[in-house]
Chain A
């Protein structure tokens, strides 16, 4: 598994982490497999929740945050030995879903290699019905947007 360097959250409702490709994540072309990006994104998404909403129970079954849509732009290949800086931030928040944006850039050169966007839906995993984003979470996000 890729090594993940964890750092403090950067900015309001933004999180970042360092990623280093593991040897077995390199495919036959000598480049990082495209299948790795969704896993890196998931680690960032979980870190975002833990860094900013650990007290809000967003992984509780009654208000579970799940991935509803992902779109990934692979802009440049990633090679063994690279260290990528992944960042995620909330870009839109509605009543039962939010959109979060990811970038993975080279930690040395700053060149962006991957851009992605995800829509996360909140649902009650017990009744399988849509759930509202908890009021405290929504207020925290709105407050962060206002201070940006």
Chain B
């Protein structure tokens, strides 16, 4: 998926949940400090993204999310995993060979 489209869709979802205008959001925007997304809103954003991209973002990744850029990277990782059907815990093809 084109990265710009992914970013715009993410911004739309953030706008829908927390009300911040999409044009105010950058990759470096902090979910909590800049977008005022508390833990509840962050969960809603993640769930909306899961629905939008038909992916499941695992708990470990969710805990590490700080910025919008982190969100985009998490989506990319999950999309890649879905495309390659990588097992849980495998982040890329590079270490996929470590698993049967």
By a beta-carbon cutoff of 8 Å, the part of chain A in contact with chain B is 68-69, 94-97, 119, 121, 129-130, 132
Contact = CB atoms under 8 A, between A and B. Distances in A.
Contacts of B70: none
B51 interface: yes
A97 B45 CA distance: 12
A97 B48 CA distance: 12
B55 to A, nearest CB: 14
Interface of B: 17, 40, 43-44, 47-48, 51, 59
14 contacts: A68-B40, A94-B44, A94-B48, A95-B48, A96-B40, A96-B43, A96-B47, A97-B40, A119-B40, A121-B40, A129-B59, A130-B43, A130-B47, A132-B47
A97 B59 contact: no
A140 B2 CA distance: 35
Contacts of A121: 40, 43
A94 B17 contact: yes
A121 B17 CA distance: 14
B31 to A, nearest CB: 15
